[in-house]
Structure 1
Amino acid sequence: MRLILVGPPGAGKGTQAARLVEKHGIPQLSTGDMLRAAVAARTQVGLKAKEVMDAGGLVSDEIVVGIIHDRIAEDDARKGFILDGFPRTLAQAEALDKMLLADDQKLDAVLELRVDQTKLVDRIIKRAADAKAAGQPVRKDDDPEVFKQRLEAYNRDTAIVVPYYDKANLLSVIDGMQSIDEVTASIETALQGLDEKV
């Protein structure tokens, strides 16, 4: 089962991805983690990425797709994977399609956690307060101002991949304002039948 999780920051993608990993036994692939791992492993693509990052540049789509390509070839991703944080742009979505096609693979579903963005800021403030109360560190991106900037970037860049996947009949819209368990149940309903196709 090859999935993409899409949604603005704070929509609950991390929580739901962890549940999908547990239930379906497929890895969650975060581009940031994969990039760091490729650099640490000194793979060919990782060395290219390191060169760009050391120069203070942004890693190109070509390099990111190369890192994803290497990662999904690993044993734990043979049954499928969950992409989180990628694709962020239309060009990345198209590059991902080409890469999968070349490997005789395709995406099974794109899950969009759709949320009321005005209520998201409140959710983030609460998340930061809960972390403080529990004596845990507050995530840097849980600062309301930083969060608003991330939300703007999402709306400007990433939200445009949603119609692309809708047109390809891959999109399932999930109401991200439900409780965590209700969101999980909605995702499982959307994915019914996919397990058998794997």
Structure 2
Amino acid sequence: MAHHIYTTDGFVLSSHPFGEANLFFKVFTRDFGLVFASARSVREIKSKLRYGLADFCLSSISFVRGKHEWKITSALPKKNLHHKFAQNKHKFLVCAHALSLIKKLVAGEEKNTELFDIVQTGFDFIEKNDFTEQELRSTECIMMLRIVHNLGYFMANSSLAPFIDIVDWNKNLVLEMNNHRTTAVREINRAIKESQL
């Protein structure tokens, strides 16, 4: 019996070895939410999958549904954040923090294209623009606010609402966040703490 192949974009959040050359992955996908999936022989040097399944990589990934788990059949890398931001570790860390928050707060397989787009467009904005250290911190705050709001852990108050209501990314929004960052950080930390209760 042929298995149906599902293909979607996904960020590889983490990987764990099992067996001699196999890996088990956590992937935040556009169409299926957080997916736990295995890939065989991916640690072998000849494996074609390994480039598309590096941690912090955005790839087009094909899955088949096994009896007990998803299995990865192909992974075509679109953007490796380690490589993309090799010359700017601060930009990489903002992206890594966002994906770490996704890993912590997203419970499982539930489609959330809005959240995926928040992250992907945020990363594109970071890639295409130059920032002062303060502006980059403010950009990270906007992304974190949008993530916790999307997942229902934060209801926007009047001073922070514009950063959530305006869905695009622009420098004016970042500059405005410079004035609200203390409040934003407090609210983000409170939301994360509440999510762990």
Identify the TM-score tier after normalising by the shorter chain: under 0.3
Higher helix share: 1
Q: Greater share of strand residues, 1 or 2?
A: 2
Identify which of structures 1 and 2 has the higher relative contact order when contacts are C-alpha pairs closer than 8 Å and 6+ apart: 1
Q: TM-score with structure 1 length normalisation? A: 0.26
